[in-house]
Structure 1
Amino acid sequence: MKNHLLIATACLLGLLATTGASLPYPILPPLFAAGAADNLNHFLGLPPKLLFSVALLINPLGLLIGNAVLGPLSDRFGRRKVVLVTAAGAAVGHVLTAGALAMQSYPLFLAARFGTGLLEGQAPVVRALLAERLEGDLRNRAMSWFNGALHLGWLVGPLLAGVTIGFGLSVPFYVAAGALLLGATFCAVALNKEKPHGAAGSWWSVARERHAFNLLRHDQLRLLFIMQLAYTCGVTGFYEFYPLWLVEVGHFDTRGISLVNVGLCGVMTLSAAFAGGPSKLDPLRRASFHAILVAILIASVALGNLWVGMAGIVLFGLPHAFYNATIQGWAADRFGGHGQGAVMGLLSTTFCFANIVMALGGAVLTLFDTRLILLAGAGLSAWAAYRMRAWRWQEAHVPASNAAES
């Protein structure tokens, strides 16, 4: 396959995946925090904020499992097959989500969002495609462009919600389902068929025995997981709860949240277009610098007024895009021998696990003050920046024989 076609296909997949994942973010806060009481936002008489936090948690739970197993599955059965099956399945998940909203069925909504998340965890599969078929600066730039497509999906999803929700609460999800089916058709044409490789085994046995968490048996990959988990807890806490902050502080509706998100994702997408370029600075040093900037901007949302917080939300996209490009390229170079699908799966799974952690934390903290979960996330990202500096210092001062991975 020509490199430009591979990169274009990867970016399309990234765009469609995060468009579907981000679609509910501007829809749910007004529905649960400011909507009229109904069977959806008062299920079993539970507090709407608690139901909102669980609704945020369930999709990342599916993504967590999907990201952990889809990369290794594609290592065994081929990237193309995994991509096509999951894209079609995620489209069905969006249709079920639309039906759940129309029927005001909270259990069906949770089940549909879980299944959609499970099948939208394609990022490690696509990153593995790029990592194994491209090399050097082109690979780093391609991964950065793929990240840009993922970020663009976080813009397109909420924007799609804002534009189409006037036609009905379910309409955005039907549109997302149709887009996924069109994307799957394009990928079927663009991606070459592959022969299964590796050890024999069923889908279930490969998913059970070769999931990304198996990498945690290695000391340095375990350290990467802990460091990345702390950073992404800050990021996911920000993603999940800044819309609720906008509702509470600025009384924003779905369209207002979508407009702020346009600014954030526009900055993030533009930054990602340049973030994969070569640099003479050590990757961990660069990642640490970007992580501390992210922590400062998240804290500015929690501690500032509406205008300071909105500026922090939009500017967040700049250091976060550069952080992602840096850490993913470094991990591909350093740990690729463990299988690019598994390594990229570990990074994506960490992000999903952080979503769950912060959704659970937010379910408690937002009952007191939404700013508390944002401050907790800022602190965790700042700790991750410190830990990256310590890792870099250790590698610079410990003999290579002692620093080698166990």
Structure 2
Amino acid sequence: MTAINNKAKLFSLCMVLFIDAIGSGLILPILPELFFNPEYGLLQGYAFHNTNVIYGITLAVFPLASLFGKYLFGALSDHVGRKKTIIAGLSIILLSYLLSIIAIMIDSIPLFILARFITGFGAGTYTAVYAMIADMSKTIERKMTNFKWPALATVLGFIVGPILGGASGIAHGQLSLVIPFAIGFILTLLNIFKAKASLEENVVVQGSHHFSPLFFFKESYHYLLSIKNKKLIKYLLGSYLVFQFAIGLYIQSISLYLSEYCHFTTNQIGFFYVVMGGAILLNTLVIQKRIQDRSSPLEITTNISLVGIVVFGILEISRLLLEDNIMITFIVSFVVYILLNVSVSVYTALLSEHTSSSEQGRIISLSGQAYSLTWFLASLFIGVPRANDFLLLICITFLFLSLLFIRKLQ
């Protein structure tokens, strides 16, 4: 009976991550249409036409909010319990979908940006999800088995999200922009009911009346200061930060590039992200294990930066000589998504391996915050006018910096 309950609980927890991933991906195919359509986009009737800046801000608020949400939800789950924290996070995401729909219906850019910020904050719930999975896994073997499924759920959510975003093509006008968020709202509502019914609190809380967000931010700040004296951790984080900036800059700019330069429709952009989700799925199930069998983690960090430099170089040359070659863009993007998936696991594993058991939670939370921070900064850069003209060269430069950090460890 316990095994059955654990399976039901694991399914519900995976659904939480599935919905989070959908929230990240569903907006990507419709963002160009949302801002650049002159008939029913959010900028209709606005005198301000620097849409690239608004586009960058809209992308930026999600990882910015996630930066705070990941840490606060992790701390909150230790003090009020995992289940309450997860349901609270889902409720926040539910509210964000509703606000997104209202923002589109009333043509409010500020409200839409606020809604994306709230979505990003709610997505930080994943820290409580992983904590609950760890709580229910009694052995290291069981943890390794159980952690496969939330990773797969995230990948599937990333595939489904762009499909839902591309589904807006079945309607016309303002309704086409509302459909993805309405679907997300319904799925999240069902997820809340499922979580309430199947999840049980299995951790002794530390007392919610002692919880202070200010205390945890101060503690996090002092921990960051202590890292400067830990050479290996410092250089690993430095390498991870610049690597993620390069990858995040490219990935967050690609839908705008496909829309403006390749004239992709919303459905075509949705198909692109489905293919990229397939890259992550292929890496999760096949490629990464083979890479790990052949190379050490430190060698993998070097190799993924080198591969990134090569593929970005190929894409830059192809754009100069062949203009906008769609096939090369698809192939390079496919490789980049694999590099992204590999980098998260290998850098997290390295940071965890060289951190004491008493600081595991902190370092894993810190790696997640580093990911959110770099994607936030990268998305702001996308708003810079004519950024696409030299974007690939910047990606290559930051990957070289990542290699320099790794060389300091060898």
TM-score band by shorter chain is 0.7 to 0.9
* Residues 25-59 of structure 1: per-residue CA shift (max 9 Å, x gap): 11111332454476536745141111111111122
Map 1:116-195; keep pairs closer than 5 Å: 116-130=119-133, 133=137, 136=140, 139-140=143-144, 142-167=146-171, 168=175, 169-193=177-201, 194-195=203-204
Map 1:5-404; keep pairs closer than 5 Å: 7-36=10-39, 40=43, 43-130=46-133, 133=137, 136=140, 139-140=143-144, 142-167=146-171, 168=175, 169-193=177-201, 194-197=203-206, 201-211=210-220, 214-219=223-228, 220=230, 221-274=233-286, 275=288, 279=293, 281-304=295-318, 305-335=325-355, 337-364=357-384, 367-391=385-409, 393=410
Q: Per-residue deviation at 1:337? A: 2.5
CA contact (8 A) 1:22 1:157 kept: yes
CA distance in 2, matches of 1:387, 1:130: 33
CA distance in 2, matches of 1:336, 1:250: 49
CA distance in 2, matches of 1:42, 1:323: 43
- Identity across matched positions, percent: 20
Q: Per-residue deviation at 1:112? A: 1.1
TM-score (norm 2): 0.84
Distance 1:45 1:249, change over 3 A: closer
Amino acid at match of 2:328: V
Gaps of 5+ in 1: 394-406
User: 3-state SS of the aligned residue for 2:200?
Assistant: coil
Q: Per-residue deviation at 1:77? A: 3.1
Amino acid at match of 2:89: T
TM-score (norm 1): 0.85
Quote the residue 1:403 is aligned against: none
* Residues 114-157 of structure 1: per-residue CA shift (max 9 Å, x gap): 11111111233333444564654654554454333323322211
Gaps of 5+ in 2: 319-324
CA contact (8 A) 2:247 2:336 kept: no
Q: Per-residue deviation at 1:178? A: 1.6
Distance 1:384 1:309, change over 3 A: same
CA distance in 2, matches of 1:9, 1:360: 34
Q: Per-residue deviation at 1:259? A: 0.6
CA contact (8 A) 1:276 1:322 kept: no
CA contact (8 A) 2:36 2:43 kept: no
Q: Per-residue deviation at 1:389? A: 4.3
Q: Per-residue deviation at 1:88? A: 1.1
CA contact (8 A) 2:94 2:189 kept: yes
Amino acid at match of 1:204: P
Distance 1:307 1:72, change over 3 A: same
CA contact (8 A) 1:39 1:105 kept: yes
CA distance in 2, matches of 1:372, 1:16: 34
User: 3-state SS of the aligned residue for 1:250?
Assistant: coil
Q: Per-residue deviation at 1:382? A: 3.9
Aligned residue pairs: how many? 390
**Bigger shift: residues 304-313 or 180-189:** 180-189
**Bigger shift: residues 284-293 or 352-361:** 284-293
Q: Per-residue deviation at 1:265? A: 0.6
User: 3-state SS of the aligned residue for 1:195?
Assistant: coil
CA contact (8 A) 1:238 1:298 kept: no
Distance 1:303 1:65, change over 3 A: farther
Distance 1:69 1:303, change over 3 A: farther
Amino acid at match of 1:185: F
Amino acid at match of 2:299: R
Amino acid at match of 1:217: S
CA distance in 2, matches of 1:255, 1:339: 45
CA contact (8 A) 2:76 2:211 kept: no
- Coordinate RMSD, CA, aligned: 2.9
